[in-house]
Amino acid sequence: MCAKWQTQLVSKKPGAAVKGYLKQAIIHWDGTAGRSVCRNIIAEEPLSIRIQGNPYSVIMRTPGDEIDHVAGFCLAEGIVDSPADLNAIGFCDGADTNVVTVTLTASRREKIAATLDRRGYISQTSCGICGKEIVRDLQQAISSVPNGPALSTGRILKCIDTLSDHQPLRRQTMASHAAALFNSDFDLLAAAEDVGRHNALDKVIGKLFLAERLAEACLLVLSSRASYELVQKAGRAGIPIVLSVSRPTAIAVALAEQLNMTLACLSHDEGLYIFCGAERLVF
């Protein structure tokens, strides 16, 4: 973690773990009769992100890992390129609020003045923007990922087969998405869960980004489909291989090709569907 702002980092109080779910009394109808039962439901609350004291975005997310979440979000949005761009990041008005504020170094503020004014906010698309324009704009804003090592398809499949082992929130609620990052030796570097797939990815990237270990990540495993926004976030993080449970969208494949990424998903019967970047995989 970057020493110059480490001491300014505010985190949740020790021992104040956020479950991310709550118990709810419901009626279970089993096809014949109804009975009262208690079930766990996943939590969802707004998270307000402020940059330089100004409101920037409000995200609906599952509480927990807020600092990592905001760090990953800022990397994906191009607000920061490295932890050195951060002057401070922490909770506003105490650790129990749903507001996180980010302050940047003077040089970074000057460099991204247009982004802070919300001009050229690439991840927001409007009705008048077509898929080709989105891919072109994102390609200009994101560098192609390095080739990286070739990985065994068999071991990649094991990573997605064991993804549920890293989803304690899903075991309680059956309602969370997950994202997990592995290195070239298939060691788990970090995992995160959230009600939103975008949030889960921001959280897991933010964990490694703040620890300055993002360069170790070679494989991203997603519990969802791969949309172009998720490919965009992975591209900003420099992750070469993305594996999802469900099939990607066409625009996600086009963007992955432009960014020199490997994009694959589980086959409906057995194995993988590989959409681009097959040269990184060893069969």
- Active-site amino acid positions: 127
Distance CA 183, CA 210 (A): 17
φ/ψ (deg, to 5) at 171? -65, -30
Tokens of 68: 């990592």
Distance CA 166, CA 179 (A): 9
Strand order in the sheet with 262-266: 188-194, 177-182, 219-222, 241-244, 262-266, 272-276
Tokens of 26: 């419901």
Q: Which amino acid is at 183?
A: N
Tokens of 159: 């990573």
Using only C-alpha atoms, the chain has a radius of gyration, in whole angstroms, of 19
Q: What is the 3-state composition of the chain as percent helix, strand, coil, each rounded to the nearest 5?
A: 35, 30, 35
93 exposed, middle or buried (CB, 10 Å; 0-12, 13-18, 19+)?
exposed
Residue 11 CA from chain centroid, whole number: 19
Q: Tokens 């409007």 — which residue?
A: 126
